[in-house]
Amino acid sequence: MAPEEKMRLSTGFVRAAGYADKLRRTLLAQTKGIVQPNETVRTAAIINMRLFDVLRENNVEKGDVVRIMFNYEIVEEDGKKTIKVDWDSMTIEVYKNAGTIEGIKPPEEVERAVATAVVGEWREFEYDEDVFARLKLRAEEVIKTSTGYTMKGPDFEAEVLGKEKIRIKYTGPENKVNEFYAEILGG
């Protein structure tokens, strides 16, 4: 029984509740065309049964995230290829849920701009690469000028003055003005 191929499996990050399916699918993908699928599924089942016990013993909850990694070899025995797991290389990284972050407020600059937005009024902002990119995506016309760019979209006009200032005038419906500035300034 001589080793034919040494390989490494990593499930990637997956919720603990779904590790068994992910491990089986990954092992099947890695051994496709080399090892008979029923042999691969049998090996995955043995690994998954052991890992189930290990995860329970270590108080890993269904919602925790795990990454399972191990080495294995594909060996040929009596003309049949099988998978030999290197159990000593088996590692399980566990990431516990630290809670949920909610109620994230936009930067004060965005809140102020949105609160005071008026249709047809030019607003001036410090240059920001992300704002510039979002304006370009919405623009129907972008013209390079000697001082920067001018842009026109279906509901705005804008001027980019070097890498210093961006001036924007919203020209769309009044009930959408706050939404427009929130999207452009806040992403």
- Lookup: tokens for 119: 């249709």
pLDDT mean across residues, the chain = 89
d(CA 147, CA 72): 62
For tokens 């052991």, the residue is 50
Domain 3-95 has CATH 3.30.70.2740: no
For residue 106, the model assigns a pLDDT of: 67
Q: Which helix (H) or strand (E) holds 73?
A: strand 65-77
The segment(s) of the chain belonging to CATH 3.30.470.50 are 3-95
Look at residues 30, 19, 8 and name the one whose alpha carbon lies nearest to residue 85: 8
- 75 DSSP β-pair partners: 3, 82
In CATH, what number does 108-186 get? 3.30.310
Mean pLDDT throughout 61-72?
A: 95
Look at residues 57, 58, 49 and name the one whose alpha carbon lies nearest to residue 19: 49
- pLDDT single digits (tens) 97-128: 888 888 877 666 555 555 567 788 888 889 99
> How much is the pTM?
0.55
Report CA-CA distances (Å) from 128 to 108, 110, 142, 164, 185: 15, 12, 17, 8, 9
The segment(s) of the chain belonging to CATH 3.30.310 are 108-186
d(CA 27, CA 10): 9
